[in-house]
């Protein structure tokens, strides 16, 4: 079972890393509110990283903060359906989903590096004038 085009678009638009996906799916699986410390411990990441994951997921409209806790709460039923489909696909096609996430991350990193190199080349050109 391959990812549907709609789920692929969702992953590209909303899931910046495998850690974000793992956090989202963990929160989804229980439906309970978690502290960022509990989430970080379960994902084997420091509290600071767990905080960033939670903040990013909230900005994407996938979770909500409840005081010091976070809970899975997509902003629409359609998004919840896409996440359900993604969860099922991830169980069966972990490599495909992970590669999709990494390919997007790699492209963004490459664009950033290219922009930095072009800027550096411009600075060197101006210095030789």
Strands 63-66 and 34-35: unpaired
The CATH architecture that domain 5-127 belongs to is Orthogonal Bundle (1.10)
The DSSP output letter for 33 is -
Residues constituting the chain: 129
pTM score above 0.75: yes
Whether the Cβ atoms of residue 33 and residue 69 lie closer than 8 Å to each other = yes
Q: Mean pLDDT in each 10-residue stretch from start to end of the chain (129 residues)?
A: 85 92 96 95 96 95 94 96 95 88 59 48 52
- What is the per-residue pLDDT for 106? 46
The pLDDT score that the predictor gives to residue 103 is: 80
Contact (CB, 8 A) for 58 and 20: no
Q: Which residues contact 63 (CB under 8 A, 6 or more apart)?
A: 24, 27, 54, 57, 70, 71, 72, 73
Q: How far is CA 39 from CA 72, 98, 115, in A?
A: 12, 20, 35
The domain ranges of the chain are 5-127
Contacts of 123 (CB under 8 A, 6+ apart): none
Do the beta carbons of residue 55 and residue 65 sit within 8 Å? no
Q: DSSP strand E in 1-129: where?
A: 34-35, 63-66, 69-72
Q: Can you give the pLDDT at residue 36?
A: 95
């Amino acid at each position: 079972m391959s990812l549907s085009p709609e789920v692929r678009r969702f992953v590209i638009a909303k899931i910046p890393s495998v850690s974000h996906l793992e956090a989202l799916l963990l929160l989804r699986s229980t439906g309970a509110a978690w502290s960022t410390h509990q989430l970080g411990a379960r994902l084997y990441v420091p509290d600071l990283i767990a905080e960033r994951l939670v903040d990013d997921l909230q900005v994407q409209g996938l979770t909500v903060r409840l005081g010091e806790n976070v809970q899975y709460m997509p902003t629409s039923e359609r998004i919840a359906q896409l996440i359900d489909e993604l969860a099922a696909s991830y169980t069966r096609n972990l490599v495909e989903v992970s590669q999709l996430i990494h390919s997007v991350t790699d492209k963004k990193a490459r664009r950033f590096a290219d922009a930095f190199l072009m800027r550096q080349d411009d600075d060197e050109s101006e210095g030789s004038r």
